[in-house]
Amino acid sequence: MEKKITVLPGDGIGPEVVTAAVEVLQAVAKKYEHSFHFAYATIGGAAIDQHNDPLPTETIELCEESDAILLGAVGGPKWDNNPSDLRPEKGLLRIRKHFDLFSNLRPVQAIPSMLKSSPLKEEIVQDVDLLIVRELTGGLYFGDRNRTDDEAFDSLTYTRPEIERIVDNAFTLARLRRKKLTSVDKANVLDTSRLWREIVEEKKAQYPDVSVEHSLVDSTAMKLITAPADYDVIVTENMFGDILSDEASVITGSLGVLPSASMRSDNFGLYEPVHGSAPEIAGKGIANPAATILSAAMLLQYSFGMSEEAKAIEKAVSNVFEKGYFTGDMAHKGVQALSTNEWTERVLAEIDPAYEKDESMTFI
Ligand SMILES: NC(=O)c1ccc[n+]([C@@H]2O[C@H](COP(=O)([O-])OP(=O)(O)OC[C@H]3O[C@@H](n4cnc5c(N)ncnc54)[C@H](O)[C@@H]3O)[C@@H](O)[C@H]2O)c1
Ligand SMILES: CC(C)[C@H](C(=O)O)[C@@H](O)C(=O)O
Ligand SMILES: [Mg+2]
């Protein structure tokens, strides 16, 4: 049966990395005899320019008719001074809320061949395999806010059901992994964190096989780069998860390799790299497409239940690193940096040596 994927390239390097990921999905479809239909729509700055709205109705409608969403990135200096409702980032927040994508999964895995790109010592990063489960539709991002000329406020609110569902989700995921859950909060200061911590304590009786620790976000930020291999699943609120996941990119040496899946309670999801639109390298053809390609693998795994196909993409990416091919953000001393296009060609060749590139697809 045909699967429909809505593709939202967005801004900056978004279109470049999404083009690469779509081509990888096409190669997978051909090799495994699936039919994927790609429908394109605007979000973010591109949508503001065309529709004066960072999330136009036609984009929502297209996503509603599809089985999954693949997104590049939004934002850029062109729109930085827009009023808050007309900022590209608002489109992203609205699509997450509209589809109730409350669970943002951000895996961080250190593939051995990546490790030369990390500024951290090899013995610190070599066994890292962790998953950040970030609450995505509550907290500071969605609380009451206001600003006048001289004052502004943003408020941080969480309800019991909002915390319960993300905590349950994280426990369930920990069960499928190494059964260790770290709940990250700021319970020494924030009431929302105290409620969060109480709920984790209540829930742990339902998951007796999972070990639980609580950790304050400030010291977690330190431990995440001094002892990252100690973590299995980290569950945390929206903003802490945003910050910790970018920090975790130091482990792999680049933001350009970290994928994410934003899920609701069924299998529907939005898949996007953790990184942003990287405006300073946009249009140069040098962006690392690995994070978006790996996000496409998560799409196959979580929304389509295609584990073998997802693993084939992950293996292809890892083989390309293993063979010493990197884009500029990861190319260490003595290694020639490949373009987005050249690097993607190598992934395609790993997936299917017989694959012929669709020449109608352009790498920007
Ligand atoms: N999900 C999203 O759409 C998303 C996420 C984060 C930031 N943003 C937006 O992106 C814009 C730029 O933000 P920023 O600069 O703080 O963060 P960024 O993630 O765009 O870039 C941070 C650094 O990482 C580099 N980088 C990021 N992705 C890369 C890739 N694939 N290949 C090579 N290098 C890469 C950039 O060049 C830059 O040096 C802002 O408007 C921000 O709001 C969007
Ligand atoms: C662009 C921004 C709204 C977004 C976030 O903070 O969630 C981004 O940083 C991310 O990590 O996806
Ligand atoms: Mg972020």
List pLDDT tens digits, range 33-77: 999 999 999 999 999 999 999 999 999 999 999 999 999 999 999
* Three-class secondary structure of residue 39 per DSSP: strand
Distance of CA 296 from the midpoint of ligand 2 (Å): 18
Report pLDDT digits (tens) over 243-298. Answer: 999 999 999 999 999 999 999 999 999 999 999 999 999 999 999 999 999 999 99
- Whether 242 is catalytic: yes
Distances (CA, A) of 297 to 234, 300, 302: 21, 5, 9
Residue 348 near residue 24, CB atoms below 8 Å: yes
- Per-residue pLDDT band for 16 (boundaries 50, 70, 90) equals very high
Strand segments, DSSP code E, in the chain are 3-10, 36-40, 68-73, 103-109, 129-135, 145-147, 152-154, 180-185, 211-216, 233-236, 259-263, 269-273, 326-327, 337-338
Locate 127 and state its tokens.
């066994």
Q: How confident is the model at residue 363 (pLDDT cuts 50, 70, 90)?
A: very low
Predicted pLDDT at 336: 87
Is there an atom of ligand 2 within 6 Å of 258 CB?
A: no
269: helix, strand or coil: strand
User: Residue 1: which pLDDT band, with cuts at 50, 70 and 90?
Assistant: confident
The pLDDT tens digits of the residues spanning 303-332 come to: 999 999 999 999 999 999 999 999 999 987
Residue 358 clears pLDDT 70, i.e. is over it: no
Name the percent of the chain lying above pLDDT 70.
98
User: What's the pLDDT at 327?
Assistant: 96
d(CA 12, CA 284) in angstroms, rounded, equals: 10
Q: What is the pLDDT of residue 227?
A: 97
Confidence of residue 222 (pLDDT cuts 50, 70, 90): very high
Helices (H) and strands (E) in the chain, counts: 12, 14
Fold of 119-252: Isopropylmalate Dehydrogenase (3.40.718)
Pairing of strands 3-10, 68-73: parallel
State the pLDDT confidence band at 357, using cuts at 50, 70 and 90.
Answer: low
H-helix or E-strand spanning residue 61: helix 57-64
pLDDT value at residue 338: 97
Whole-prediction pTM:
0.97
d(CA 207, CA 310): 28
First to last CA, the chain: 31
Q: Is residue 362 predicted with pLDDT exceeding 60?
A: no
Verify whether ligand 2 is closer than 6 Å to residue 108 (CB atom). Answer: no
Longest dimension (CA), the chain: 63
Ligand 1 pocket residues where CB is under 6 Å: 13, 17, 73-76, 89, 92, 255-256, 272, 275-281, 287-288, 291, 329
Beta-carbon contacts of 268 under 8 Å, excluding residues fewer than 6 positions away, are 67, 68, 99, 303
Most informative mutation of 69, 92, 93 for ligand 2 (most atoms within 8 A of CB)? 92
CA distance 55 to 11: 13
Averaged pLDDT score across all residues of the chain: 95
Question: Could you tell me which residues are beta bridge partners of residue 146?
Answer: 153
In sign, the C-alpha dihedral spanning 166, 171, 175, 178 is positive
CA distances 102 to 15, 62, 152, 173, 360, Å, are: 25, 20, 26, 15, 36
pLDDT tens figures, 182-198:
999 999 999 999 999 99
What amino acid is encoded at 219 in this protein?
Answer: S
Q: Residue 246 Cα, ligand 3 centroid: separation in angstroms?
A: 6
Per-residue pLDDT, 364: 38
Averaged pLDDT, 106-117: 88
- Confidence category of residue 360, pLDDT binned at 50, 70, 90: low
In the annotation, is 11 catalytic?
A: no
What is the token pair recorded at 130? 């962790």
Q: Name the residue of 13, 55, 114, 277 whose CB sits within 8 Å of the most ligand 1 atoms, as the mutation to test its pocket.
A: 277
Alpha carbons 127 and 257: distance in angstroms, whole number: 17
Per domain, the residue ranges of the chain are 1-102+262-364, 119-252
Which sign does the torsion angle of CA 119, 223, 211, 201 carry? negative
**What is the pLDDT, as a whole number, of residue 237?**
98
> Averaged over 138-154, what is the pLDDT?
96
pLDDT at residue number 348: 98
Residue 242 Cα to ligand 3 middle (Å): 5
CATH class of the 1-102+262-364 domain in this structure: alpha beta
Task: For residue 206, give both structure tokens.
Answer: 């339902």
> Which of 49, 127, 218, 358 is an active site residue?
218
